Amino acid sequence: MNIRQAAIGAAALDAGAIIVFSAIGRASHDEGILGDAGLGLATTAWPFLAGAGIGWVIARGWKHPCDWKATGVPVWASTLVGGMLLRLASGQGVQVSFIIVAGLFLAAFLIGWRVISGILAKRAGLKK
């Protein structure tokens, strides 16, 4: 696998984690995936997806897409902070408990898979 393929896969995993996070959140509030206007999941996910995109640019994630420190932490922080700020700007709710839950879930999924990937690569002799 080359770095371009790794970056595409990493970005897809990040986006998937954010969509799962958004879907679980909607389901836990009995909002349904589509919502009233048919855009429920998209309305919930877009601020976090935009935040993640900003994080990828800040970290230049395409250079080390699977590195939990160089890419995972900046993408997580940008997803959380950017997502919350964009939610506020778009009139969506932001409560302290939501920030905590979002921070923990997103850390587990945006940083966690990279940590596991690094451990597996090291065991397989793919990483120094």
Give the pLDDT of the chain (128 residues) as one tens digit per residue. 789 999 999 999 999 999 999 999 888 877 666 665 557 889 899 999 999 999 999 999 999 999 999 999 999 999 999 999 999 999 988 999 999 999 999 999 999 999 999 999 888 887 65
How many angstroms from the chain centroid is the CA of residue 48?
Answer: 7
Contacts (Cβ under 8 Å, ≥6 apart) of 87:
47, 93, 94
User: What pLDDT, on a 0 to 100 scale, did the predictor assign at position 76?
Assistant: 98
Provide the pLDDT for residue 26: 85
For residue 81, the tally of other CB atoms under 10 A from its CB is: 15
End-to-end Cα distance, the chain: 17
Tell me the DSSP string of 25-77.
Answer: HHHHTT--SSTTTS-HHHHHHHHHHHHHHHHHHHHTTTTSTT-IIIIIHHHHH
Show the tokens assigned to 99.
């920030």
Where do the domains of the chain lie?
3-123
Q: What is the pTM of this model?
A: 0.89
Q: Which two tokens stand for residue 117?
A: 């990937």
pLDDT of residue 29: 73
Tokens of residue 121, six digits: 């690569």
pLDDT at 37: 54
The reported pLDDT for the residue numbered 34 is 65
